[in-house]
Amino acid sequence: MSFRIAALALVAATTISAPAFAADELTRVQAHLRAVETMVADFSQTDQNGKTLTGTLTLKRPGKIRFQYQKGVPLLIVGDGKALTMIDYQVAQVSRWPIGNSPLAILLDPSSLSRVAHAIPAPPGRILIEGRDSKHPELGTITIGFSENPNAPAGLIMAGWTVLDAQGNRSTVVLTNPRFNTTVNDRTFLWRDPRPQTRGK
């Protein structure tokens, strides 16, 4: 599996919109996301062929996020609040796209929930949020899961998400070992630009 394709699946650019879901669930999820000023968690990302990559997710409000892949994967994804940047150190390439065109908009901007997602049936103790633009099905679907936990902010923990594209390709991200509201240095979200620097004129 291409490392770059794997990274794109993690934060696949998907503009999502759907009717507002039940107010009580919306309130609970928004309360959780707003209560999380910082979060550090381990993640594992599995594609439909069973290939798994792991790494560390770091989030800091407002709008900062970093996906640090496991050793040997030459990719890094960093968000600065306005755009997501994917750095491919293997080919010295940098790509950027608006956070608003990514499923991560839900995670980074809780106020967007009521206009971009709706709840779907879930087992007891879980909340599932689905985002899909019915006018543009080619953009795919994202489903984000939350688990109830009385010791977590607002009683919820984000368990992970699944992205399904228009071709039926599925990528699932599972979050584990979350640590909330610990000190996260802003330097965590800096990155080294691998592109050759032009000197002189």
3-182 maps to CATH 1.20.1580.10: no
**Is 181:37 a contact under the CB 8 Å cutoff?**
yes
pLDDT average, residue stretch 147-166: 90
pLDDT classification of 14: cutoffs 50, 70, 90: very low
Average pLDDT over residues 16-31: 63
Mean pLDDT of the chain: 81
The pLDDT value recorded for residue 132 is 67
> CA 148, CA 124: separation in Å to the nearest integer?
9
CA 186 to chain centre: 19
| pLDDT exceeds cutoff 70 at 134 | no
pLDDT tens string 78-104: 998 888 899 999 999 999 988 766 667
**Which residues have CB under 8 Å from 33's CB, separation 6+?**
107, 110
Domain boundaries, the chain: 3-182
Give the model's confidence band at 199: pLDDT under 50 very low, under 70 low, under 90 confident, else very high: very low
**pLDDT at position 32:** 92
DSSP 36: -
User: What span, in angstroms and rounded, lies between the C-alpha atoms of 83 and 96?
Assistant: 6
**Average pLDDT of the residues in 20-31:** 72
- The pTM of the full predicted model, rounded to 2 decimals, is 0.81
Six token digits for residue 190: 């800096």
- Residue in the structure block whose two tokens are 């630009």: 193
pLDDT at residue 48 tops 70: yes
Rounded CA-CA distance 93/42 in Å is 25
Q: CA–CA separation, 144 vs 14, rounded Å?
A: 13
Q: Do 171 and 47 contact (CB within 8 A), yes or no?
A: yes
> Percent of the chain beyond pLDDT 90?
46
Residues 6 or more apart whose Cβ sits within 8 Å of residue 138: 166
